[in-house]
Chain A
Amino acid sequence: MSLLAKFAPLRDAYSAVRAIGRDPFGVTFDSVDSPTEGTLSGRKVILLGTNNYLGLTFDAESLDEAVQALQESGTGTTGSRIANGSYRRHAELERRIADFFGRRHAMVFTTGYQANLGIISTLAGREDHLLIDADSHASIYDACKLGTAEVIRFRHSDPADLERRLRRLEDQPGHRVVVVEGIYSMLGDCAPLKEIAAVTRAAGAYLIVDEAHSLGVLGANGRGLAEATGTEADVDFIVGTFSKSLGAIGGFCVSDIEDFDLLRVACRPYMFTASLPPSIAASVGSALTRVQRGADLRNRVMSNARHLYDGLAEAGFDLGPQATPIVSLRLPSVEVAVAFWNALLDQGIYVNLALPPATPTNQPLLRTSVSAAHTPAQLNKALAAFTLVGQMLGVVAAPQRALAV
């Protein structure tokens, strides 16, 4: 029996998806031409599933800074900061990100996934308890597996359930660390952070918020859901990524906790990975400057999100609970979802296909992510395509034909 025989059910499911049309998990663009457009098999497509919330991947200043750093410092760092040392731009970026969040300390990781993996697995030790939302991102679940703390899940975005679970731990030794996300990546819903922060604080527990999808998007200054909900003082650690709103790659954690820098020599996903190339650190710093320059991009991405969300709701689609830059459609079956995804691509619209068990409610989803760079014309074209395909596949009702007079 082959080493990979254990994946037979996965192979069968994957084959069934590919039998319907293209391979949704193996799309290769000829070129990505702008934050909102790519070329696929010689045809232009609108990118509506790339988490490019502020549209900064082609920002002129970020490109210039990155090119300059690339020429000054080379293509890569060839090792971790513990072994090879830090570049000036790493230290500068950490200072900038700490200042942006108004925190004393920041630590930069090579990916957002590693930021969660490293921080969560290192903060909670053998005697401690991690309390994570049941719909947490895979990086949070994987961090739990890497660490040694006991892990307890609470019902998605349910502060009362979290409170009960914290109460049950009252007489147990060790610390409690609660982990939630600013915007959940599948349905685009926000955590009820005010209530979660209140029960966490009342229990004397620590709170980590992953602002991966909310950095640069929520809050008057773009600091995320904690800023938007006025809970920053109750959040002990903010984790996030540079790969979405800031248009590059990398992850970070900021905090005011004493002895924060000890994490640099305790956190294995930080210690044993090559550090960010200086060109990436430079482009992230420049993108952060752009975020700080004004609220125009966050206002635009939110108004674009509302436009798409309202249009899809009006067409009759079953959507996530609120309009954020992640707008997801719930579909009745995997077959319909895959056919829908293929038909949208035929119409020149690229979105993400999310299939159970990666989805929170066991329903397949078509997940879109809206950008500040999307034009009204692009969003309207997408809305028309969704409506057409939705009616064709019977997901939404076709309009009543006007009665002849």
Chain B
Amino acid sequence: MNTDTEILDTIVREIAKVAPRQVSVTPATSVTRDLGLDSLAVMNFVLTLEETFDVSIPMDRIAGVETIEDLVATIRSLKKDAPV
């Protein structure tokens, strides 16, 4: 589950579970503006992703995430750093 496509697919699946309406998600989709999630829902969504990918995303890294692409890159880099 470490390639960008696999990470993206998983994120899309998780979004479908929490988004209030159907959204077509692309790498350029904004996490805070386009998913129909308020700030608290975004925080909870991140907690779920952390569980799914078995990573902890530090708060300063979350602050730098704007798009789904940023989120994929952040998770990929944290997965890479993790001990095997």
Contacts and interface: CB of A to CB of B under 8 A. Distances in A.
A356 B59 contact: no
A171 B56 contact: no
B40 A144 contact: no
Given A144-B59, A153-B47, A153-B59, A164 B38 contact: no
A267 interface: no
A10 to B, nearest CB: 13
Given A168-B82, A357-B38, A152 B54 contact: no
B40 A169 contact: no
A168 B56 contact: yes
Interface in B58-84: 58-60, 82-83
B59 A168 contact: no
B43 interface: yes
Nearest to B43: A134
Nearest to A150: B58
A155 B56 CA distance: 11
Interface in B1-59: 38-41, 43, 47, 51, 54-59
A178 to B, nearest CB: 13
B59 to A, nearest CB: 4
A356 B54 contact: no
B58 to A, nearest CB: 4
Contacts of B83: 170-171
A165 interface: yes
Given A150-B60, A153-B59, A164 B54 contact: yes
A330 to B, nearest CB: 14
Given A171-B83, A357-B38, A362-B40, A151 B59 contact: yes
Nearest to B55: A168
Interface size class of A (residues with CB under 8 A): 10 to 19
B18 to A, nearest CB: 13
Of listed B43, B51, B56, B58, residue having the most chain A CB within 10 A: B56
B59 A152 contact: yes
A171 B57 CA distance: 16
B40 A356 contact: yes
Contacts of B47: 134, 153, 155, 161
Given A153-B47, A155-B47, A169 B39 contact: no
Contacts of A134: 43, 47
B56 A152 contact: yes
Interface in A177-221: none
A280 to B, nearest CB: 34
A361 B38 CA distance: 11
Contacts of B38: 356-357, 362
In the complex, the 5 A-B pairs of residues with the closest C-beta atoms, listed nearest first: A151-B59, A150-B58, A152-B56, A362-B40, A165-B56
Interface of B: 38-41, 43, 47, 51, 54-60, 82-83
29 contacts: A134-B43, A134-B47, A144-B59, A150-B58, A150-B60, A151-B59, A152-B57, A153-B43, A153-B47, A153-B59, A155-B47, A161-B47, A161-B51, A164-B51, A164-B54, A165-B56, A168-B54, A168-B55, A168-B56, A168-B82, A169-B56, A171-B83, A356-B40, A357-B39, A357-B40, A361-B40, A362-B38, A362-B40, A362-B41
